[in-house]
Amino acid sequence: MDCDLQDPPEAIAGLYDHARENPVDVVIAARKSSGLGAGRNLGSAIFNSTLRWASGLEVSSKVGNFRIFSDQVAQAFRQYPEQLRLFPAIMSQLGFEKAFLELDRNERTIGKSSYNILSLARLGVETIIAYSEKPLWIAAFVGFVVSFLSVLFGLYTLITSFWLGVEVPGYASLAILLTFLSGAQVSLVSFVGLYVGHTLSEVKRRPIFIVEQVI
């Protein structure tokens, strides 16, 4: 739970009872209201939508850290050794059976959040880098498309110049070459990034699988 008491401590008993009554390993508090301002709500929705699209993880702005879970889930969570650990994202990766309990979230009454727009944006970028390689694949694809289109335009220029006798400006060949090289450079750098990303995944030594039950 969050330490600012926006997650009501008195709701812990309800989460515990729900966990005892249902055959699940995790009971998550689903927020009826976020207790945040309109700007933070919009930023949270954009961040979670982007992370969900980029990584395929089940993250939602209606779900935070407030939850109760079994010792088995706690042991599985501790197998993730990296420093930057987004709690809801790792919980989504673990894949244990879960249930949701809707709760009202309190307004913050004491102090202010230490997160501002810049720190939230930095957290968002770091999280996407840590949990997704999709931006690199998109960059590689865009670079390939740019190079491919430049080749097509180069062929079109040659055909119109040599076969149709159309006068082509002298800078056209230079522009085509620069476009091709720029696209190729973006693709190659993206592929280097993918290699680095795979190396980073290996260095983190995340568990390959989680043992739920030993028969």
- What digits encode the pLDDT tens for the residues 38-96? 666 676 777 777 777 776 777 766 777 888 888 888 888 888 887 777 787 788 888 78
CA-closest candidate to residue 64, choices 99, 108, 100, 28: 28
Task: Show which of 96, 130, 164 is a domain's final residue.
Answer: 130
**Contact assessment for residue 138 and residue 186, using Cβ atoms and an 8 Å cutoff:** no
- State whether 106 and 20 are in the same domain: yes
Q: Which of 130, 156, 177 is the last residue of a domain?
A: 130
Same domain, 43 and 74: yes
Residue 31: inside a domain, yes or no? yes
Task: State whether 103 and 50 are in the same domain.
Answer: yes
Question: 148 and 115: one domain?
Answer: no
What is the pLDDT averaged over residues 3-13?
77
How far is residue 153 CA from its own chain's centroid?
36
Residue 158 belongs to domain spanning: 134-204
In the predicted structure, residue 33 carries a pLDDT above the cut 70:
no
The β-bridge relationship of strands 26-33 and 98-104 is: parallel
Tell me the C-alpha distance between 87 and 65, whole Å: 7
31 and 104 both lie in a single domain: yes
Distance of alpha carbon 30 from alpha carbon 102, whole angstroms: 5
Domain end residue (candidates: 93, 111, 130):
130
